Amino acid sequence: MIDNAACANATRVTVDSARKHGLLLDVVQILSDLNLSIKKAYISCDGRWFMDVFHVTDLNGNKLTDESVINYIEQSLGTFDYASSKCFDGLTALELTGTDRLGLLSEVFAVLSDLQCNVVEAKVWTHNGRIASLIYVKDCDSGSPIEDSQKIDIIESRLKNVLKGDNDIRSAKTSVSMEVTHTERRLHQMMFVDRDYERKPTMRTNADCPLVTVQNCLEWGYSVVNVQCKDRTKLLFDVVCTLTDMQYVVFHATINTSGDQAYMEFFIRHTDGTPISSEAEKQRVILCLQASIERRASEGVRLELCTADRSGLLADVTRTFRENGLNVTRAEISTTSGTPLNVFSVTDASGSPADPKIIESVRQKIGMSKLKVKELPLIYHQKGERDEPTVGAGGGGAMLLSLGSLVRRNLYNLGLIKSYS
């Protein structure tokens, strides 16, 4: 049910369903694929029933008024049969992981161009010195997916040589498949398997580092995870995706935003119904959730490339970045109707902010009208909204909310009772 009247500053999306593992992730994924900002959420799963309420806005902080968007949400949440973001049928998927270094992406695109592979869609994430990329390609000549086993072997071999370089012989991985998958969830899985959360962390200020605590509520048999960090789009998706892939079930949760901060509390168990059993497991959950939040964080200047598509375009552009000492920390490549729309986040070789003079020099070489500095979309928070009590805000001193109070609060926000006090 989608309701624009119940909340003054957001559209309320309510989902009631029979419970099954992964259902929460399906719901959040649909909302995230539409780039909706989830300002608040209340999640409750008792017995065999699943009840969720989400307060959402568009990126400008406005309620949802586009009927096509509302209808899409209703249809998708009603059936959970939808196309995730884009359709990748007819394309070949390349999965790459390895050690990040200056110019690596340039070398990858150069190999693909040399092998007559046309990049249609791609996402590249880097975190803690590691890189994961999911690249969808087709054959330049035929426009068809690449199915020739000999050519696939060549692609895998050459890309693996690029990824392993001189010092990543063991952990560099490449794979080629025809499988259609949700790109961002797959990137999380690839970096999780690569154990990026255990790698040497990059230098971050305390303000940028997500605060995650894990405690056991023995009375009710749950583990309670509290997360506090800077708010952004797709934040809830990243956290729920990681909990789901680590085989945890979210039974109750409250998500709240205030200003530019997000506060999240999750009552979880393993899929077998048991809570977290050791201090080592708690620390692993903390590291994995911090990593899941940090992977999407855009470091550096965001540059948007928009120009007519041609063979070798990405190889040429990223080579110019490399030759000028710019390292690509994130990339989103998209081609629609023959016109590419590509966004790169770049830093200098050490990971520090790039010199503005170098950015302008690169823009001049590629074309000032083709390469533009793109600001991050800001999540607008309406002022004057009555903040509800924050659950789980703060660090180790945060007071755990009793399960009974949490359930009553969720039922109140679901509109099923008149008061949760």
Domain ranges of the chain: 2-84+201-296+381-413, 92-181+299-373
pLDDT for the residue numbered 379: 36
pLDDT for the residue numbered 377: 38
Q: Of the spans 102-116, 324-338, 365-379, which averages the highest pLDDT?
A: 102-116
Per DSSP (E only), the strands in 112-189 are 117-127, 130-139, 173-177
351 — pLDDT class (breaks 50, 70, 90): confident
Residue closest to 187 by CA, chosen among 72, 85, 67: 85
Q: Provide mean pLDDT across the span 38-55.
A: 89
CATH code that applies to domain 92-181+299-373: 3.30.70.260
Q: Provide mean pLDDT across the span 313-319.
A: 95
Give the orientation angle of helix 313-323 with respect to helix 104-114, to 10 degrees.
Answer: 150
pLDDT for the residue numbered 376: 43
CA atoms of 286 and 274, how far apart (whole Å): 18
Which residues on adjacent β-strands are paired with residue 257? 262
- State how far Cα 113 lies from the chain centre: 28
280 Cβ neighbours under 8 A, 6+ residues apart: none
The mean pLDDT of the chain is: 84
Do 306 and 366 touch, CB atoms closer than 8 A? Answer: no
405 — pLDDT class (breaks 50, 70, 90): low
Supply 174's token pair: 């490449």
Above 50 in pLDDT, residue 393?
no
- Least confident window among 68-72, 245-249, 297-301, 306-310: 297-301
Residue closest to 257 by CA, chosen among 15, 11, 56: 56
- Least confident window among 46-50, 110-114, 291-295: 46-50
Distances in Å between the alpha carbon of 276 and those of 100, 240, 247, 359, 366?
33, 17, 11, 47, 52
49-96 confidence digits (pLDDT tens): 888 999 999 988 999 999 999 998 988 887 755 444 455 678 899 999
CA atoms of 289 and 284, how far apart (whole Å): 9
Above 90 in pLDDT, residue 255?
yes
Question: In sequence order, which ranges of 274-312 are alpha helices (DSSP H)?
Answer: 279-294
CA atoms of 377 and 28, how far apart (whole Å): 20
pLDDT for the residue numbered 236: 97
Q: Provide mean pLDDT across the span 192-213.
A: 78
Place of tokens 């072997």: 153
Q: Provide mean pLDDT across the span 115-132.
A: 94
pLDDT for the residue numbered 410: 53
CA atoms of 191 and 181, how far apart (whole Å): 15
Q: Provide mean pLDDT across the span 36-54.
A: 89
Above 50 in pLDDT, residue 416?
no
pLDDT for the residue numbered 299: 76
Cβ neighbourhood burial of 284 (10 Å; 0-12, 13-18, 19+): middle
Strand order in the sheet with 222-230: 2-3, 11-18, 49-57, 37-46, 248-258, 261-270, 222-230, 211-217
Q: Provide mean pLDDT across the span 218-228.
A: 93
CA atoms of 275 and 217, how far apart (whole Å): 9
Do 51 and 44 touch, CB atoms closer than 8 A? Answer: yes
Place of tokens 């911090």: 290
User: pTM here?
Assistant: 0.85
6-29 confidence digits (pLDDT tens): 888 999 999 998 888 888 999 999
Q: How far apart are the first and last CA of the chain?
A: 26
Cβ neighbourhood burial of 383 (10 Å; 0-12, 13-18, 19+): exposed
